[in-house]
Amino acid sequence: MDYFQYNITTDPAQNEVLIAMVGHLPFDTFEESETGFNAYMPVSQYAEEHDEELLDLQSQFDFQFQKTLIPGQNWNEIWESNFHPVIVGEFCGIRADFHDSLPAVEHELVINPKMAFGTGHHETTFSVIEIMQGIHFEGKAVLDYGCGTGVLAILAAKLGATELEAVDIEIESYRNTIENSAINGVSNVQAFHGTLQTVPGTDFDIILANINRNVILDSLDSLDKLLKPEGLLVVSGFVLDDEQLMTEALQKHGFKILETKRKNNWLAMKTQKIGASG
């Protein structure tokens, strides 16, 4: 998939509020830096009014932006040049196959990201993995919604989940999940290319949804129906300013907030289904 990279140059102290202000636009990845942040938008979701909104926002905040087209075939080179091993305490380590082994962690994952998102570097993936450390996966049925590289599904398999389905709307993510599952010796992850409606399973114990705010909000009805009573839903991909919005939406759909993790400006929540939606 081709992307537009928006290089936002600003005082990094403004990153938090600016990311929150543009969170409704179809950006699916943010990378903070010492000079501001980069935001990535699929070319297929681009419209001229998105640029116009950014121009209007400049009347309220001091920032500049530059848009660059990044063809899909360049993502692998970009990832490899920036991809360093990720260590989540003593629990989990994530590396590419060109890195040395990580013997000091309980679970070592080899993830070659290719053109898919999800290496553990982003705060959302890191926080979801932290939450997963406290979840009992043994013998559970798990759905990884928006699986990217398949990193969360693969970790769930390593933690003892027996039935695993992973779905992503991007064909590159579907292919990468299959490849990374094989690299890690995981044979029970069924990957699907499509939306939630593509998933054949209907009775999950745990759903992992590390996507973005708008997709999660639009999917809560469907996620509720796919989850067993008392099942766990872990969501991430939204910023601190969205905490109240997400909390209220989750509670409205019958989910109780059990745990919240924050890394920089990004949040992840572990919730439990406690009642019917509505």
Residues 6+ apart with CB under 8 A from 26: 41, 42, 45, 46, 50, 214
Helix (H) or strand (E) holding 148: none
Helices (H), 69-166: 75-82, 123-132, 151-158
pLDDT for 16 equals: 81
Output phi, psi for 26, to 5 deg: -80, 45
Rounded Cα distance, 30 and 15, in Å? 10
Residues 6+ apart with CB under 8 A from 100: none
For the CA atoms of 141, 146, 149, 151, the dihedral, rounded to the nearest 10 degrees, stands at: -40
Rounded Cα distance, 228 and 109, in Å? 28
- Determine the 3-state secondary structure of 175 from DSSP: helix
Domains of the chain: 3-70 (3.30.70), 130-273 (3.40.50.150)
Rounded Cα distance, 31 and 253, in Å? 31
Do residues 261 and 130 touch, judged by C-beta distance below 8 A? yes
Rounded Cα distance, 28 and 40, in Å? 6
Across the strands, what pairs with 144?
Answer: 166, 208
Provide the sign of the torsion angle of the four alpha carbons 233, 148, 127, 92, taken in this order: positive
Q: What are the helix and strand counts (H, E) for the chain? A: 8, 14
- 278 residues of the chain, pLDDT tens digit each: 788 999 999 998 888 888 888 888 888 778 778 898 988 898 989 999 999 999 999 999 999 999 999 887 665 566 556 667 888 999 999 988 878 888 889 999 998 766 545 555 578 888 999 999 999 999 999 999 999 889 999 999 999 999 999 999 888 889 989 999 999 999 999 999 999 999 998 899 999 999 888 889 999 999 999 999 999 999 998 888 889 999 999 999 999 999 999 988 889 999 999 854 43
pLDDT for 246 equals: 95
Q: At what angle do helices 213-226 and 243-252 cross, to 10 degrees?
A: 20
- Could you tell me the two tokens for 165? 């389905």
